[in-house]
Amino acid sequence: TTDYETITVERTGDRTALLTLNRPKALNALNLQVMEEVVAATEALDRDPDIGCVVLTGSAKAFAAGADIKEMQPQGYMDMYLTDWFTAWDRLGNLRTPTVAAVSGYALGGGCELAMLCDILLASDTAVFGQPEIKLGVIPGIGGSQRLTRAVGKAKAMELCLTGRTMDAAEAERAGLVSRIVPADDLLPEALAVAATVAGMSKPVAMMAKEAVNRAFETTLAEGVRFERRLFHAVFATADQKEGMSAFVDKRAPDFTHR
């Protein structure tokens, strides 16, 4: 994990890892190298049975101020189409290990989309969210028009995408984009604590819980409930179900083996 140039990755104990975007001079603008490194690093962590949750964060000033405008500026349609620009970001949303976005400062354009690709979104009271692409003569390209609309509804999503207006942390929480607001100084410790809580659960069961919740965005209610029921029955094949329920009955803490 030392050969990355635009991110740092550290194992933070408690079966958790911390990925920090590290292009401070460009406010963590997401160029293709950042995309490749984030995807490679998170996929490696996803394969690691000793990692139960991954935190993604940026700096105090910027989670990420968007896709890299300077890199995109000269590109034409054929360049974008043939490189399939940004499609690799989809792989972040396909990770099976739960992820937490810890957002402080700007989360604009691709930065907002990156945060929405994560499973739990925690914001500091300084966070600013928006999809201001329209001001540059483009539209969101990493799922923003879809995920923001599902998260906050048409009224706000449409206004944000059409005007480029940003939301502060309080508005983002009211609208349901973020699960909680944390004072800026507490953001990282709180995100790591949330990650440690998740990572302390049975990993396969947490993976199934994540899969079930995500299914709500892909299918009808009846199909989603059926999908949940199948997974619910399946968890009774895990050792961790026996351990979790035995521990409750025995009035002790469970010792999950992640099997």
Contact 94/72 with Cβ under 8 angstroms? Answer: no
Q: Is position 136 an interface residue for ligand CO8 (rule: CB under 6 A)?
A: yes
Q: How far is the CB of 132 from ligand CO8 (least distance, A)?
A: 4
Residues within window 177-236 making contact with ligand CO8, judged by CB under 6 A: none
Tell me which of 44, 138, 162, 170 binds ligand CO8, using CB under 6 A. 138
Residues whose CB falls within 8 Å of the CB of residue 218, separated by 6 or more in sequence, listed in order: none
Q: Is position 143 an interface residue for ligand CO8 (rule: CB under 6 A)?
A: no
Contact 30/67 with Cβ under 8 angstroms? Answer: yes
* Distance, C-alpha 223 to centroid of its chain: 25
Residues whose CB falls within 8 Å of the CB of residue 225, separated by 6 or more in sequence, listed in order: none
Tell me which of 54, 65, 181, 191 binds ligand CO8, using CB under 6 A. 65
Catalytic residue among 29, 62, 64, 67: 67
CB closer to ligand CO8 out of 17 and 152:
152
Q: Is position 252 an interface residue for ligand CO8 (rule: CB under 6 A)?
A: no
176 catalytic residue (yes or no): no
CB closer to ligand CO8 out of 68 and 240:
68
Q: Is position 63 an interface residue for ligand CO8 (rule: CB under 6 A)?
A: no
**How many residues does the structure list for the chain?**
259
Q: Is position 173 an interface residue for ligand CO8 (rule: CB under 6 A)?
A: no
Q: How far is the CB of 144 from ligand CO8 (least distance, A)?
A: 7
10 catalytic residue (yes or no): no
In degrees, to the nearest 5, what angle opens at C-alpha 183 toward C-alphas 53 and 190? 20
- First-residue to last-residue Cα distance in the chain: 27
Strands (E), the chain: 7-13, 16-21, 53-57, 62-64, 99-103, 106-108, 120-124, 128-130, 167-168, 180-182
67 catalytic residue (yes or no): yes
| Window contacting ligand CO8 (CB under 6 A); options: 36-44, 65-73, 170-178, 219-227 | 65-73
195 catalytic residue (yes or no): no
Backbone angles phi, psi at 53, to 5 degrees: -165, 140
Tell me which of 132, 175, 178, 256 binds ligand CO8, using CB under 6 A. 132
CB closer to ligand CO8 out of 26 and 41:
26
Size of the site for ligand CO8 (CB under 6 A): 22
Amino acid letter at 98?
Answer: P
CB closer to ligand CO8 out of 83 and 219:
83
Tell me which of 108, 182, 194, 205 binds ligand CO8, using CB under 6 A. 108
Strands (E), 87-219: 99-103, 106-108, 120-124, 128-130, 167-168, 180-182
Q: Which active-site residues does the annotation give?
A: 67, 110, 113, 133
